[in-house]
Structure 1
Amino acid sequence: MKTYCIGIIGYGGFGKFLHHWFNKINFFKVFAIAETGNVLMDYQGLRVYYDWKDLINDTEIDTVSIGKFSLANA
């Protein structure tokens, strides 16, 4: 069975929540994250992008999940 590489845009609380649960599904693997914050730590094993457009242009990513949640965006 194919493993699908996921990119997560927005890696705050909800993005980390998505990462945790995606990794529990056998055919998903979180591959990259995009975050505009400048306090990102070294996320071992993940590609880190500071512009979401770079993440969606990564040809190794199969699907993208939006991890940003804000009532201001609703």
Structure 2
Amino acid sequence: MITVLVFAHLKEKFGQPRLVLEEQELTVSQLRRVLAEQYDLQDNSVMIAVNEEFAEEDEVIRAGDTVALIPPVSGG
């Protein structure tokens, strides 16, 4: 299983602070597709971190990894 932590407005969108995916292994790109299909996440500006480091689209996520979805933030 892969744990996905969600922050800011995504927590409200999903109605929970974390998602648990049954997949054992997938790339960041594949994760984006799963989130789009299962959770209607269409925002490609969301950054994805794997085990507390920002990840590239081809990075492999494995069971036991912790993933964070970090929405874009703005400030002034």
TM-score (norm: length of structure 1) = 0.26
TM-score (norm: length of structure 2) = 0.26
Query: Which structure has greater strand proportion?
Result: 2
